[in-house]
C-alpha cells in the first residue's frame, strides 16, 4: 500500500511539459536500492529470482521489443480509429512537444522514471515474492491489479489531457479503458517474465510500447 501511494505521488509530480520528469526520475532512481534491499532482507530473494540475470538477455530483449512494437501498433490503431469518437483521440502534451523534448523523454527520463522502476518493482520483486506463496495464475492477476492501481493518478492526468475530457461519459469510459489496458499489459508482461526468467524482455517491451505510442501520437499530430 505504501509503495502504491509512493507511485501515485511520483506520477502526480509529472508535469505535462517537455522535457519532463527530472524530479520524477530522481524519485524513481532513489526507490531502486530500496526495492533491492526489500527483496533481499524482506523476502530473501536473490538477483536471479527477481530476473536480474544476463543469460540470453540480449535475445530476450529483442523479442520483448518486438512484442512492445506490436502492442504499440494495436494501441495506435485504436487511438486513430476509436469506436466512441468520429475523430482520432488526441493527447495535448504530445501535440505540443518539440522533437528535442520527445527524444529526451524517450531516451532518458522514460527509461529511468518509468521502465526501470516499474519493471523492477512489479515484474521483478513483487512477482517473485507472490510466486513464492501463490499459484502462478493468482500471482499474475494480483500483480497486474496492483500495476493498474499504481497508474490511478497518471491515467487520470492522461485522459484529462485528451479530447475525451469534453464529455463526462467519454472521460469515464476513457479512464476505465486505460485501467483495463494497463491491467492487460501487466498480465502480458508478467507472463513474459515467467516464461523468460529474466527482466530483459519486460524492460524492452515496456519501453517499446511507450516509445511507439509517443512517436505515433507525435507524428500523427503534425
For residue 18, what pLDDT is reported? 46
Give me the tens of pLDDT residue by residue for the chain, a chain 222 residues long. 555 665 565 566 554 444 455 666 666 777 777 778 878 878 888 888 899 887 778 888 999 999 999 999 998 888 888 877 778 888 888 877 788 888 888 888 889 888 998 999 999 999 999 999 999 999 999 999 999 999 998 889 889 988 888 889 999 999 999 999 999 999 999 999 999 989 999 999 999 999 988 888 887 666
The structural domains of the chain, with segments of one domain joined by +, span 2-11+21-220
For residue 100, what pLDDT is reported? 83
Distance between CA atoms of residues 213 and 31, nearest Å? 26
For residue 19, what pLDDT is reported? 46
For residue 215, what pLDDT is reported? 85
For residue 4, what pLDDT is reported? 64
Closest CA to 123 of 60, 75, 175: 60
Closest CA to 20 of 104, 107, 114: 104
For residue 7, what pLDDT is reported? 56
Distance between CA atoms of residues 131 and 145, nearest Å? 15
Using the structure block, give the residue that is written with the C-alpha cell 517537455: 18
Closest CA to 129 of 33, 49, 31: 49
Are residues 45 and 125 in contact, defined by beta-carbon separation less than 8 angstroms?
yes
Distance between CA atoms of residues 147 and 4, nearest Å? 9
Calculate the CA dihedral of residues 163, 187, 208, 56 and round it to 10 degrees: 180
Are residues 109 and 22 in contact, defined by beta-carbon separation less than 8 angstroms?
yes
Amino acid at each position: 500500500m505504501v509503495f502504491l501511494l509512493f507511485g501515485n505521488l511520483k506520477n502526480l509530480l509529472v508535469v505535462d511539459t517537455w522535457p519532463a520528469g527530472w524530479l520524477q526520475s530522481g524519485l524513481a532512481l532513489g526507490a531502486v536500492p530500496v526495492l533491492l534491499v526489500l527483496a533481499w532482507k524482506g523476502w530473501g530473494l536473490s538477483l536471479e529470482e527477481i530476473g536480474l540475470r544476463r543469460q540470453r538477455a540480449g535475445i530476450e530483449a529483442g523479442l520483448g521489443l518486438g512484442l512492445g512494437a506490436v502492442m504499440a501498433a494495436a494501441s495506435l490503431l485504436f487511438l486513430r480509429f476509436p469506436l466512441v469518437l468520429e475523430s482520432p483521440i488526441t493527447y495535448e502534451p504530445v501535440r505540443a512537444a518539440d522533437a528535442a523534448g520527445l527524444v529526451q523523454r524517450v531516451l532518458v527520463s522514460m527509461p529511468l522514471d518509468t521502465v526501470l522502476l516499474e519493471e523492477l518493482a512489479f515484474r521483478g520483486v513483487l512477482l517473485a515474492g507472490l510466486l513464492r506463496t501463490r499459484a502462478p495464475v493468482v500471482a499474475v492477476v494480483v500483480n497486474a491489479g496492483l500495476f493498474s492501481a499504481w497508474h490511478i493518478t497518471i491515467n487520470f492526468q492522461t485522459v484529462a489531457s485528451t479530447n475525451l475530457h469534453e464529455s463526462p461519459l467519454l472521460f469515464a469510459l476513457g479512464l476505465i479503458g486505460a485501467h483495463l489496458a494497463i491491467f492487460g499489459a501487466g498480465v502480458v508482461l508478467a507472463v513474459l517474465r515467467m516464461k523468460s526468467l529474466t527482466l530483459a524482455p519486460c524492460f524492452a517491451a515496456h519501453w517499446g510500447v511507450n516509445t511507439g505510442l509517443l512517436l505515433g501520437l507525435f507524428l500523427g499530430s503534425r
